[in-house]
Structure 1
Amino acid sequence: MLTIGLDLGDTPSVLAALRNPANAQLIANAAAESYTDDTLDWVAEGKSFTSRTGQLEQSVGWRPLGDGSAEIYANAEYALYVEEGTRPHVILPKNGRALKIPTSGGGGYILRRKVNHPGTAPMPFFFADGAGREQRMGERALSVLAGVIEYA
């Protein structure tokens, strides 16, 4: 699982001055939602991997931690392999007999005792465009803060 912890640093002390420290959580939530939206937009715009099932995108999300911070995650088992790629490796059958590989023409199979996989290239989606995402998170957090100050 890939995760990012989002801590707004001195923001809780600023919000405490507004007499409502719970607003720190609102700001962290807005920043986390912004990062998640950017991640999903990055994939939808074709800047990373080509989705086949949508499972990886569905695994991207965020959750508030309740202490003025939030966690952003991609919890698909293979998210890290997509993000960082893999090295060449050998694939062996689980049952010890043979791998059954479908042919590209459809309907047929090839049996192999092992397959030498060449590895995959990294297709960053979660940690991609860090500077741009940081800027947009800050903008979203500031808009929430401006709303809090306006109503304080």
Structure 2
Amino acid sequence: MSDDTQRWNDVAEVAAAAEALYAAMRRVRTIPGDSDETLSVAQMALIEPLLDEQELPVGQLAIRADVSVPTATRMLKSLEARGLVQRQRSPDDDRIVLIRLSQSGSRAATRRRDMLRRRQAARLAHLSPRERADMTRQLRKLTLLITG
């Protein structure tokens, strides 16, 4: 086997493993269970940054969730109608809409995030501290390679 063929096989194997990991993570995040089903995976990805920051513009939430601004706007209007987020114009710039979690939205998002973290911790506890440290380092390196 040539070096080029071996290199291609190695790259294909890493890519397949990364894709399998991504698919597995999405499946686990959508498994019904003890979670609060108030928030879908996509909705959670959109509003989770608001658990750490008081308010953010729609555009920033869209970027962090990797969705278009119109998609984020539709999702946020739906969440607002359900009383989970509050939308208001920026006092500094009328073109900017700021989003913050309502109390019920904060509770629902916190429950969902905590449930996901408990689930992750239970699974990762099967690895040794050294394996977790090695995995963390390799995943960060892979993320940098993917994102450039």
Shorter-chain-normalised TM-score: which range?
A: 0.3 to 0.5
Structure with the largest fraction of strand: 1
TM-score by length of 2: 0.34
Is the radius of gyration larger for structure 1 or structure 2?
1
